Amino acid sequence: MDFISRSTQRVRYLVVLVVALDISLALSTFAQVPDRKPAAVVPVPQTASWWTTRHEHTLERIRQDEVDLLMIGDSITQGWSKEGRRIWDAYYGRRRAVNLGFNSDRTEHVLWRLDHGEIDGIAPKLVVLLIGTNNTGARHDPPEETAAGIRAILTTLQTRLPDTKILLLGVFPRSASADDPLRRSNAAINDRLRAYADDQQVFFLDLSRHFLDNRGRLSQDLMPDYLHPSERGYQVWADGMEGVIRKLLGE
């Protein structure tokens, strides 16, 4: 019986030892895994050929002449060259403005573009930044991660363009109703963006109310697909920020 008892104790000891070693190994492996960076803050390009071509054309454009005003963003900003063309010409044609809007861009794509030449060799007076709705719609990023991506863009702009003022626009409302999850996500992003303004180099402007009725419904006349402005929507956008732009440009 003593032999059996001692054998049982040895088996129990070995089992405890193996379990302890497994736990120790698991903890060691976990400790070696770095904190995950949100995709929103890691610069990457889009892979579509049109996107690369547009980036190359943009580099050629900024080398051609002085730039006083940059508009940076996604397809909503790119749309100044289509639905918003007439308004762009009227408001920004004389201001040596360049459109850096790229369809489907998220924050990480803008970061990559800024790191690869799109603000090299220029000293604009003002940058207007509108980005983030594709983080919400395409990947359903949490608002805090999208806001972190926008913060990273601001840091890049402030570091590389220290004498340039930045007008940070609140992410535009999307979807028809106020209680839509994507609409709420964009509003939550904007709640965080307000804190990024120092009113010295970075200024925040939320134009959301200009696109909504008194019940919070998004006007289909201003955004036919509840995301991209119509020509009238671009007029509303331009009118809504014109006073601030004049002030920041020193006009």
Kindly report which listed range (12-16, 174-178, 241-245) carries the lowest average pLDDT score.
12-16
Specify whether 149 is located in the same domain as 89. yes
Specify whether 28 is located in the same domain as 43. no
Specify whether 239 is located in the same domain as 224. yes
Specify whether 3 is located in the same domain as 104. no
pLDDT at 35: 67
In this prediction the pTM is 0.86
CA distance 212 to 176: 9
CA distances from 194 to 87, 137, 177, 206 (A): 27, 21, 23, 9
pLDDT at 116: 98
Joined together, the tokens standing for residue 164 give: 């340039």
Specify whether 6 is located in the same domain as 70. no
| The dihedral formed by the CA atoms of 144, 147, 152 and 154, expressed in degrees to the nearest 10 | -150
pLDDT at 33: 46
Specify whether 84 is located in the same domain as 185. yes
210 or 8: which leads in pLDDT: 210
Domain count, the chain: 2
Instruction: Assess contact for 144 and 81: CB atoms under 8 A.
Output: no
Specify whether 67 is located in the same domain as 175. yes
Specify whether 26 is located in the same domain as 80. no
pLDDT at 123: 96
Q: What is the CATH number of the domain that holds 196?
A: 3.40.50.1110
The mean pLDDT value of the chain amounts to 90
Specify whether 95 is located in the same domain as 14. no
Structural domain that includes position 231: 39-249
Number of helices (H), then strands (E), belonging to the chain: the values are: 9, 5
